[in-house]
Amino acid sequence: MPPTAVPQTWDTRTVIGATAWILTLQFFVAQVVAQVASAAPYHPSLQFVSDLGNTVCGPFTYYTDGQPVFVCSPRHDLMNASFVACGVLLLLGLFLTRWPGGRAARVLLGIAGLGWILTGLAPENESLLVHSLGSLAVIVGGNAGMIMTGLATRRVPRQRARAVFSLVIGAVGTVSTLLYLTNTFLGLGLGTMERLAGYPLPIWTIVMGVLLLTQERRH
């Protein structure tokens, strides 16, 4: 008689946590929907992502140059909910997964998750200070957390590719953050530089979720 196949087991916590990280993809979908629905011209290379979460229609003054930009985002609720969801999903993944990133990386990424929640709960036009602190937590904590993940896993067997990816994308985000915070946009526009600083974290989260789920599938 043929041997009986051994049923594959899944760690439910890891699967849920990894899936939560993959669902961070909604961040990019929400941006596209909000941008398409914008009732005012929206230029991604020149404007903040947060403009899509601005809750009023009218001029909004940028801190970078003091010049007003007209914003009107009918889907601001969707964008702000997406910010909050990103934070919740990141924190959920950190709590549930058996992820070898190290304590320092967990703390930094946890700060980034809380920052995401703050940006959604405090739109730029309602509380610029709180919103800015949340955004700062995302780009500084998130990029530092990715780098710490890479450093913590670079010598772990079968984790080196993940470590290299974390180090590279974290470094890109960190350099872009420094340029963004010093208003050095290299001719790319503040919107582009903000995205180069902020996009590495959601991209990393999605990729890590896929890798964790794939790894769990092989067990």
Tell me the per-residue pLDDT of 166-199, one tens digit each, with 9 for 90 and over: 999 999 999 999 999 999 999 999 999 999 999 9
Domain residues for the domain of 169 are 12-218
Residue 121 belongs to some domain of the structure: yes
pLDDT at 1 over 80: no
CA distance 46 to 168: 25
Residue 195 belongs to some domain of the structure: yes
How confident is the model at residue 210, as a pLDDT?
Answer: 93
126-158 burial by CB neighbour count: b if 16+ within 10 A, else e? eeeeebbebbbbbbbbbbbbbbbbbbbbeeeee
Residue 4 belongs to some domain of the structure: no
Residue 2 binned pLDDT confidence (cut-offs 50, 70, 90) = very low
Residue 162 belongs to some domain of the structure: yes
Residue 218 binned pLDDT confidence (cut-offs 50, 70, 90) = low
Q: Which of 28-42, 92-106, 128-142, 160-174 has the lowest mean pLDDT?
A: 92-106
Residue 164 belongs to some domain of the structure: yes
Q: What is the overall mean pLDDT for the chain?
A: 90
- As for how many domains the chain has, the answer is 1
Residue 9 binned pLDDT confidence (cut-offs 50, 70, 90) = low
In terms of Cα–Cα distance, which of 86, 32, 28, 78 is closest to 53?
78
User: What is the per-residue DSSP string for 12-34?
Assistant: HHHHHHHHHHHGGGHHHHHHHHH
Q: Which H or E element spans position 61?
A: strand 58-61
pLDDT at 214 over 90: no
Residue 6 belongs to some domain of the structure: no
Q: Which of 7-21, 106-120, 129-143 has the lowest mean pLDDT?
A: 7-21
- With contact defined as beta carbons under 8 Å apart, do 133 and 115 qualify? yes
Place of tokens 């990103």: 86
Residue 168 belongs to some domain of the structure: yes
Measured CA to CA in angstroms, residue 59 lies from 36, 78, 80, 170 at distances of: 19, 21, 19, 34
Residue 102 binned pLDDT confidence (cut-offs 50, 70, 90) = confident
How confident is the model at residue 10, as a pLDDT?
Answer: 63
Please write the tens of the pLDDT for every residue from 71-92. 999 999 999 999 999 999 999 9
Residue 186 belongs to some domain of the structure: yes
How many CA atoms, within 13 angstroms, populate the side-chain half-sphere of residue 116?
A: 26
Most distant CA pair in the chain, distance? 79
pLDDT at 56 over 70: yes
